[in-house]
């Protein structure tokens, strides 16, 4: 199966991939054992709970920006430990809030004011799909779960990762060697 050109991804496909990556990460987060939250992950310097907190951070930002808030309006509202003593519950709540936004008919055509400037909901969702899928894998690896990812999602993720890896501003995210066979091709630059 060949990977689609990331610029040619249909907004409905973007939304579908993002929803499926949320489901994948929900499965991984829900299956973290109590003694695994402090385990190291492939994300250097981040344990399992920190990666979950990061995805929660992205989830709450997504909801805010899709609802028309700006970075300036949000300020530091989402800084710090967002998951507290209930990382699974907070993750499920925020992932479901994201899913509710994605279910709205105009979600992919909305304008979101991200740090690089205004983008469509579809463009912002591409970035969030990539992050959610790969960081879900990081959680699975760190918590010693079967980290196999859906081939369709990996295929759809590949051009996005290649695009980001080719951008000087983001290349640092791809400096490490390939992390696994399940989505290794996503991380090769």
- In a domain, residue 1? The reply is no
- In a domain, residue 74? The reply is yes
Phi-psi category of residue 97: left, alpha or beta, with phi > 0 → left and psi -120 to 50 → alpha: alpha
Q: What's the mean per-residue pLDDT of the chain?
A: 85
- In a domain, residue 118? The reply is yes
What does the pLDDT read at residue 123?
Answer: 92
Q: Which two tokens stand for residue 151?
A: 């081939």
The Cα–Cα gap between 75 and 15 comes to 27
The Cα–Cα gap between 98 and 157 comes to 19
The pTM of the full predicted model, rounded to 2 decimals, is 0.84
- Segment 46-59 mean pLDDT: 96
What does the pLDDT read at residue 161?
Answer: 78
**Residue length of the chain:** 189
- In a domain, residue 2? The reply is no
Which own/partner pairs from 91-94 qualify as long-range (CB within 8 Å, at least 24 positions apart)? 91/25, 91/26, 91/29, 91/52, 91/55, 91/56, 91/59, 92/26, 92/29, 92/30, 94/56, 94/59, 94/60, 94/63
- Segment 28-54 mean pLDDT: 95
- Segment 45-72 mean pLDDT: 95
| CATH code: domain of residue 143 | 1.20.120.450
- In a domain, residue 137? The reply is yes
Range(s) of the domain holding residue 84: 7-187
Q: Structural domain tally of the chain?
A: 1
Contacting residues for 169 by C-beta, under 8 A, at least 6 apart: none
Query: pLDDT-derived band of residue 162, with 50, 70 and 90 as boundaries?
Result: confident
- In a domain, residue 108? The reply is yes
pLDDT of residue 93 exceeding 70: yes
What does the pLDDT read at residue 132?
Answer: 95
What does the pLDDT read at residue 163?
Answer: 75
């Amino acid at each position: 199966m060949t990977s689609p050109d990331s610029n040619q991804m249909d907004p409905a496909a973007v939304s579908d991939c993002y929803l499926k990556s949320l489901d994948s990460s929900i499965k991984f987060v829900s299956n973290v054992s109590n003694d695994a939250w402090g385990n190291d992950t492939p994300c250097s310097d981040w344990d399992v709970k920190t990666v979950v907190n990061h995805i929660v951070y992205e989830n709450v930002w997504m909801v805010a920006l899709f609802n028309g808030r700006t970075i300036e309006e949000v300020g530091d509202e989402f800084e710090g430990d967002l998951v507290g003593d209930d990382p699974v519950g907070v993750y499920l709540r925020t992932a479901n809030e994201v899913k509710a936004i994605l279910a709205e008919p105009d979600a992919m055509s909305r304008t979101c004011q991200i740090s690089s400037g205004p983008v469509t909901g579809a463009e912002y969702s591409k970035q969030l799909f990539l992050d959610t899928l790969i960081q879900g894998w990081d959680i699975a690896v760190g918590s010693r779960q079967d980290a196999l990812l859906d081939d369709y999602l990996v295929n759809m993720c590949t051009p996005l990762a290649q695009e980001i890896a080719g951008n000087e501003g983001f290349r640092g995210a791809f400096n490490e060697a390939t992390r696994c066979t399940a989505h290794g091709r996503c991380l090769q630059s």
